[in-house]
Chains A and B, each alone.
Chain A
């Protein structure tokens, strides 16, 4: 079995990008329970089944 070349993205690109985004405020950790309880996304968080008017 060969090493999958596309693993480059998941091994070397995504993790540092995620850390960077978190530290730079381009990603955040929101309390999931609150979101699910209210069935509404936080103010500026979209979810695939949440629709908004444009």
Chain B
């Protein structure tokens, strides 16, 4: 990954990866390593008190016999009290986030008020439905939906109260993408049908899986829905890709490479591009965007480019620090109809160019991405491999089936040059410039493609500090991109990305930030919850933390034809816990500021 820092002074820990993009000014605040632990400690105390109060206080115990703050009818007698969990997390988070007491208080008041309001509305609907048609949910369902409300409200309020990029005008659509909602609706119906059918079969395997907490206590019907939905979409996306007519297409293409102090790797990167150009019929130009380097990046790049025979290249000096600054200079310089951006430490493979560029034979294709394969020799590489196979080799294909891919990672992304320019180029001063430009190009109606056959090698952080720096940036980006492009979320056009996918990503981000607290909550409930009920709770939480991710990871590994990657599954499960903790840190690093135009 390209970086933009000053070189570390001799004798100090090398933090070459720290850059102006690590913590965008005004949008982030300095984050103490003790902030997240402080949230967790406060959370445990608050949750413990609330659980004890609802369990022991005679009035509360009588009003809420199920142990949670539910007001509507329900069937069943016990489940994990997610409303107490959510409220406890809100209080703990608001106690630590931001820098001013007044901001924290206002944030907490709005969080709780919104949550109570939406849960109240949900309960009211249930009460009315009960009286009208006798509808009664299982308590498990009430709790799961209450959890989803809690995740979603948290992210929305963070968007409102956090320091976010200002809303900007969105580019006008140039193509129409049809039937995306219809396809999603059909897939949802199919997923419901399959998961219900499996539930009714009463397979012994399902019972066995429940016993070992792979499906938890919530039942396969609920648990299977999302995996089946993504499986249907994945199959759909794969079939569409296979059946789509292909013809050879290898137009001239420019590759832009932002580079700051990349002397150690730029030779390897350029040599890999030259090797890929050998398998590509079109002309390949390269622009190395030397961004304020203090090492020999520019000299080495010039020397290598002079020696390589298959690519035409030059070095452009971009003295202003910032990856997006360098990228935008590259967009200005490009004189071909298609361009590719890669990081200075991305090694493309011989087939990468040819496989990616063929998609542009379709005049509606706007962006093509692939699967970043880790080098394989670092401490996080095995876990990262499963992560990328699941995200880019599986989910991305599924989203592609409904024209709903939001982000194509900047490690390697091929663009129609005009589309990048029409989208406004790469945004500076926030995280997620790659997701931002692909979202906007996709919403212009261009096809965004994630091709699992397009591979390239991309660096994985080799230390915890580097991983933390990277993930804090990545996990903030969903908020930055949503705030800047809020029009897609709240105008009245039926944008699938804006009305379904981005909200789902926001909900999922909050879910990830609350995963470690949820695990602590289940342990707490195990200790002080109602007797006889706790094992079910622990089982369900373990299913969320361990079972479901392991199953999905294993499945993605197999469909991508890399069975040896299964050896990394235990590391992957632990990696996900670490990732969840870093998501909590990431949302804590968001600065709070007075309200602006949103």
Residues of chain A having any CB pair with chain B under 8 Å = 2-6, 8-10, 12-14, 16-32, 35, 41-42, 44-48, 51-52, 54
Contacts and interface: CB of A to CB of B under 8 A. Distances in A.
B130 A54 contact: no
B132, B144, B145, B491 interface centre (most CB from chain A within 10 Å)? B145
A30 B503 contact: no
Given A21-B137, A27-B135, A51-B65, A14 B145 contact: yes
Contacts of B127: 48
A27 B76 CA distance: 10
B95 interface: no
B492 A3 contact: yes
B134 interface: yes
A54 B530 contact: yes
Contacts of A17: 141, 144-145
Contacts of B555: none
B225 A20 contact: yes
B145 A29 contact: no
Contact of A26 (B130, B138, B148): B138
- For chain B, give the interface size range: 35 or more
Contacts of B490: 2-5
B118 to A, nearest CB: 6
A26 B134 contact: no
Contacts of B74: 45-46
A47 B489 CA distance: 37
B149 interface: yes
B397 interface: no
B295 to A, nearest CB: 46
A44 B76 contact: yes
Contacts of A30: 134, 136
A28 B75 contact: yes
A17 B114 CA distance: 21
Nearest to A48: B71
Given A8-B503, A9-B152, A23 B188 contact: no
Given A3-B491, A5-B489, A8-B503, A48 B140 contact: no
Contact of A45 (B63, B121, B136, B145): B136
A26 B500 contact: no
Interface stretch (B191-199, B320-328, B373-381, B449-457): B191-199
A8 B222 contact: no
The 8 closest A-B pairs by CB, nearest first: A24-B221, A8-B503, A2-B490, A26-B138, A30-B134, A32-B134, A27-B137, A23-B196
Interface in B473-513: 489-492, 499-500, 503
Contacts of A5: 156, 489-490, 503
B110 to A, nearest CB: 12
A6 B140 contact: no
A8 B188 contact: no
20 contacts: A3-B492, A5-B156, A6-B114, A6-B152, A9-B149, A17-B141, A21-B137, A21-B221, A23-B221, A24-B195, A27-B135, A28-B75, A29-B134, A32-B130, A35-B134, A41-B73, A46-B66, A46-B75, A51-B65, A52-B77
A1 B295 CA distance: 53
Contacts of B77: 44, 46, 52
Contacts of B118: 6, 9
B582 to A, nearest CB: 26
A16 B192 contact: yes
B30 interface: no
Contacts of A24: 195-196, 199, 219, 221-222
Nearest to A4: B490
A32 B125 CA distance: 15
A12 B192 contact: no
Nearest to A21: B141
A29 to B, nearest CB: 5
Interface in B62-116: 62-63, 65-66, 71-77, 114
Contact of B141 (A27, A29, A44, A52): A27
B257 interface: no
B61 interface: yes
A11 B140 CA distance: 21
A47 B127 CA distance: 9
Contacts of B530: 54
Nearest to B489: A5
Contacts of B114: 6
Nearest to B229: A16
B203 interface: no
B133 interface: yes
A30 B131 CA distance: 10
Contacts of B286: none
B62, B75, B144, B199 interface centre (most CB from chain A within 10 Å)? B75
Contacts of A19: 192
B35 to A, nearest CB: 27
A26 B73 contact: no
B472 interface: no
A49 B491 CA distance: 41
A28 B135 CA distance: 6
B134 A27 contact: no
Given A20-B221, A51-B65, A27 B145 contact: no
B276 interface: no
